[in-house]
A and B are shown apart, each in its own frame.
Chain A
Amino acid sequence: MTTIERRGSLAAGFSAIGGGLGIVVLLTAATVFLSILAAAPLGPALEDSFGRTLAGDQLLHNHPLFAAANVVDFVHEKAPAISGVRAASKWAALLILLQQILVAGGIVAVLGKAGGFTAGEFAWGMRRNAWHNVKCFLIFLLLAGLSIGLWVRGVLAVSTRAFEDAAPGAPARLAVRIAGIVVALLLYAVFSLLHDFARAARRFDNSVGAWRAYGRARRALSGRWFRALGLFLFWLILGAVLLAAGVALEWTSPAVSAVAVFLHILLQIAVLAIRPAIRVAAWGSYLALYDGVETARMAPMAEAPPAGPAPAVTLEDQTLV
């Protein structure tokens, strides 16, 4: 029996956006909610500074001489509120990290499942994989942090010494800098893929531990690194392009009238939905790749399934594939 739709990894990624629309909405809503919560200390400060003064009017109309000074005064006069936002943002970042760890559990459990999934199934996945994902995250943080940190420090130390007397813009210096960034990105991609695949291991084995899951992920990626990295880069670049376009559109579009301000806020929410959509799509691709590997591995061991309707199973006692 299989509950996975088989298709190309990339196509699976695109289809995951449609199939996992609920997850995209959930991630976007969580971001918006936490953002508003973190920005809350600014509310009264903005109302006081701009809502009841000409300064707000000048800022909204981008007054050529007054707008900049108004921002300066806001930052100066409302420093406590801004500090509050900074502190709240740090807590929000922690919460969103936790949320991502939890949501990944749900995604691994249900994404790509034929016939869709229910909120209950998603929540079950989150609960089941929560501790596993926390451990996977800590391993990722340790491995990626150490290797990327060492690489960057090493490149900096070597290039500082090697190019101390080189002219600015010397090709060798530029080449080393680019190579340093590319390798750092590759290292990140490798550990990120291992991290995602280690979490995906729970798709087939409820009891697999975090360390063994990393081993399984490594074996799954063995011989498929180019494909996996290709998927990673594809979603990274597509996401970056879309996000950059969205951010640029939001940044450059003026909004003065009430309707325009409202539409502007909608645009901001749309921009905040890009990253969730791309993340879900990337998960879709990775899971399709991983499912293919695991299915192929398990096929010789499994007997042909009996014909006819599949028996009813519960998620507790059955892996999804």
Chain B
Amino acid sequence: MSHFSPALLRAAIALAAAPAALLSGATPVSPPVVEYTIEASLDGKTHTVDGSDRLVWRNPSGDPVSELRFHLYLNAFKNNRSLFLRESGGQLRGDRAGTKPDDWGWIDVLSIKTESGADLKPGMKFIQPDGYPFPKSEIQNPNSEAGSVDDQTVLSVPLPSPVPPRGSITLSIIFRSKLPRVFARSGFVRDFHLVGQWFPKIGVYEPAGMRGRASGGWNCHSYHANSEFYADYGRYDVTLTVPAGYTVGATGKRVSEAKQGDKAIYRYQANDVHDFAWAADPTFIVHEFRFQPPADIPRGWAALAAKELGMTEAELALKPVDVRLLLSPEHAGTRERYVRSTKEALSFFGLWFGAYHYPTLTVVDPPEDGLGAGGMEYPTFFTGLVPPESLRWPFQGVRVLEDVVIHEFGHEYWYGMVGSNEFEESWLDEGLNSDSEVRAMQLAYGPRPGQLPGGIGFDMGAYGHARYVFLPNLDPIHRNAWGYFSGGSYGSNSYSKVALFLAQLRNDLGAGVFARAQRAYFQEWSFRHPATADFFEVFQRVSGKNLSTYRDNLVEGTSRLDWSVVSAKTEPAERDAGVVDGPSGRVTYEKGRLVRPQKEEKKEGPEEKTIYESVVVFGNRGEWAHSAKARLAFEDGTVVDRTLPADARWVRLRARFRSKLAWAAVDPDRVNEWEWNRLNDSYVLGQGKGKAETASRRAAAKYFAKAAYLIGLFLQSVWALA
């Protein structure tokens, strides 16, 4: 064990908070909590990786630390007793775990010693920090303390002497990883290997004050079906030995390669990353290209970003990035789609949030029979996803490939550079990233990026709305990833519902304020671990507004917003009747005519126009008190807007006007993305002109006919039997 300088740590933290201009180049900027030097060898036949690791861990806290905790993620696939398999039912994204004996995966720590040679293996044991809410297995090894628990994804290693505050420890670890058949982000299929979560990875020791902690402690959760990862930033120096002929792609930059008999050796280095993944396959088609700004930035994007952010285009200058695309042979035809969408992703995220920090990016396209490895992010490395159906009629226009590329690249920002805790606050990476993905896709491919034949189009916003309304509204956005009542609820609350919340916030704050706040959040929290409170702190500071209603209702609560038109009517206004004290004395009216005092017969004037009284009641049936715009459109084309106050449960608007009310609507421009039901947002009384013109009645007739027609086609398909 050795000490390292607290001054160095302070300097590193100061650098981490530096503006984007400093977040570039090869010099590491993150506090180097971990340093991994790994040598690993892949056996392509047995799908095992034998590795040795020299790990330097620096205690970032003021506490003496007497125990280390490691993630052994691959043990999630060791048997059907792991938390992951229990929670997922052995299925994820259509893959089934362990269909054959050789399909299971695991990781064994064969040796773990300190630099001084102290053997830590005897003391190590598996722990279940999140509990184990399932019946325990009867198959246990009573002689093994380490094997006495069902979930073996977290390893506790007691130390002979504590790591002092700000001190460090160096460990030598020898491990063997058996990859599972592709399942949940990792594994093999035939010769394809996606090697993720494959080495003993130390957890995060959070000092007091970090992410709201009262006291320091390990944040090292079990691997759950509905959770991803959390780790500290540092340096990786990884040497990979693979069978000759295998093409390799990995996190970081390749610094050397050599051949040794029937083996190939590749060395990769990466700074400011919190994980390391790699892929190997002899059939990969390699395509290397350079993202070269400004030429590769889509036209108009820089100007739009500059306008929203209140910056100059020069201030938003991006850096070149060397991209290595590894394509499965059956997807050779998708190369240009990968290239284009990767460049769009680099442009969008770079312009709006800050330049991509790293000089390299590796994009892996998994084979069709290994799609469980698709759509996954690792630092400077991600996998695409090309389901075979997505390349065929009628789904080619849905743009699954582009969507996944943009989403997974987005994680280089929301997960990679801003290192939120995916176990406890998955919304901070998946949610922010879903919002970014929706915006990037719409910017690149129009308002409805997904297209089916016949002009049917949809966007991720509509998809998010669908998940919002269809799932039981039982969970708030913010909670532990494994704490949601179902996988669907985790998905909705971590991804799409967050995109709705952020779209709501953007509409309320204005695109410019929102963009500046989000950029500030990225800049301030790059290479650090923010929490929900930090997100709101930055947004409140930049916007100058109290956003507690959003946090309490939308992020920490399950409130809905459901403004509606409760009732609407329009009829001729009642004419004046009764006794009225006017300036020239008391007069009496009957049905709008003056009857007392009787006046001389006047010449016939112009016929009095009918006045209509329209009454509309708007009501908020949801729990969230939020304002909305109300719109009344009259048959003569006149349109009147009013604001319905946030604290009102209902509002009655009355209008005396020369024209009948054609329709009334609340939130006609749909700025309230959190709105639950759009069908009760308007009521059409009649046909008007101009903006008041609607074709609603025809719609009902047309879609009834369409429904009957589709049923007719179905009925005729039954004829095949007779």
Contacts and interface: CB of A to CB of B under 8 A. Distances in A.
- Are the chains A and B members of one assembly? yes
B139 interface: no
B719 A96 contact: yes
Nearest to B684: A52
B696 A57 contact: yes
B412 interface: no
Interface in A1-50: 31-32, 34-36, 38-39, 42-43, 46-50
B454 A251 contact: yes
B705 interface: yes
Interface string B663-684: 1010010100000011111111
A184 B720 CA distance: 14
B679 A77 contact: yes
A204 B649 CA distance: 77
B275 to A, nearest CB: 28
A89 B466 CA distance: 25
A167 B190 contact: yes
Contact of B678 (A32, A64, A70, A268): A70
B722 interface: yes
Given A68-B462, A72-B462, A271-B709, A100 B719 contact: yes
B696 A52 contact: yes
B702 A261 contact: yes
Contacts of A97: 718, 721-722
Interface string A87-106: 00100110011001100100
Contacts of A59: 699, 703
B700 A137 contact: no
Interface in A231-269: 247-248, 250-252, 254-258, 261, 264-265, 268
A261 B367 CA distance: 46
Given A31-B712, A31-B716, A55-B679, A167 B699 contact: no
A152 B719 CA distance: 21
Contacts of A265: 702, 705
Contacts of A264: 702, 705
B702 A255 contact: yes
B670 A65 contact: yes
Contacts, number: 212
B453 A252 contact: yes
B694 interface: yes
Given A42-B707, A252-B454, A69 B447 contact: no
Nearest to A60: B699
Given A100-B722, A275-B719, A55 B678 contact: yes
Most-contacted residue by chain A among B447, B470, B698 (CB, 10 A): B698
Contact of B699 (A51, A92, A137, A169): A51
Contacts of A268: 705-706, 708-709, 712
Contact of A66 (B670, B694, B719): B670
Interface string B41-60: 00000000000000000000
Q: Secondary structure of the A side of the interface?
A: helix
Nearest to A46: B700
Nearest to B716: A275
A53 interface: yes
Nearest to A195: B722
Nearest to A41: B707
Nearest to A258: B698
B704 A39 contact: yes
Contact of A60 (B367, B446, B695, B712): B695
A272 B716 contact: yes
Interface string B440-475: 000000111000011101110110011001100000
A168 B469 contact: no
A77 B678 CA distance: 10
A132 interface: no
Contact of B708 (A35, A192, A250): A35
Q: Which of B459, B462, B681 has the largest number of chain A CB atoms within 10 A?
A: B462
A261 B701 contact: yes
Given A169-B368, A275-B719, A42 B699 contact: no
A50 to B, nearest CB: 4
Interface in A69-89: 69-70, 72-74, 76-77, 85, 89
A47 B578 CA distance: 42
Given A39-B704, A55-B679, A137-B721, A61 B712 contact: no
A172 interface: no
B534 to A, nearest CB: 32
Contacts of A42: 704, 707
A295 to B, nearest CB: 27
B329 interface: yes
B388 A168 contact: yes
A38 B714 CA distance: 11
Task: Tell which of B681, B696, B722 has the most Cβ of chain A within 10 Å.
Answer: B722
B465 A261 contact: no
Contacts of A89: 711, 714-715
A215 interface: no
A54 B453 CA distance: 25
B682 A54 contact: yes
A167 B700 contact: no
Interface in A260-293: 261, 264-265, 268, 271-272, 275-276, 279
A271 B694 CA distance: 29
B715 A92 contact: yes
A141 interface: yes
A35 B694 CA distance: 28
A180 interface: no
A319 interface: no
B369 interface: yes
Contacts of A207: none
Interface in A189-240: 192
A316 interface: no
B696 A53 contact: yes
Given A53-B684, A54-B665, A72-B469, A66 B459 contact: no
A73 B368 contact: no
A54 B694 contact: yes
17 contacts: A35-B712, A52-B683, A54-B681, A56-B697, A56-B699, A57-B699, A68-B462, A69-B678, A72-B462, A72-B465, A85-B711, A93-B714, A165-B190, A167-B369, A168-B388, A192-B720, A275-B716
Given A56-B697, A73-B465, 20 more contacts: A32-B712, A35-B709, A53-B679, A53-B684, A55-B678, A55-B681, A56-B694, A56-B698, A64-B447, A65-B459, A68-B459, A77-B677, A92-B711, A96-B719, A167-B369, A250-B709, A257-B698, A261-B701, A265-B705, A275-B716
Interface of B: 190, 283, 328-330, 367-369, 388, 446-448, 453-455, 457-459, 461-462, 465-466, 469-470, 663, 665, 668, 670, 677-684, 694-709, 711-716, 718-722
Interface of A: 31-32, 34-36, 38-39, 42-43, 46-57, 59-62, 64-70, 72-74, 76-77, 85, 89, 92-93, 96-97, 100-101, 104, 137, 140-141, 165, 167-169, 188, 192, 247-248, 250-252, 254-258, 261, 264-265, 268, 271-272, 275-276, 279
Which 10 A/B pairs are nearest by Cβ-Cβ distance? A56-B699, A51-B700, A168-B368, A68-B462, A56-B696, A100-B722, A35-B712, A54-B682, A268-B709, A39-B708
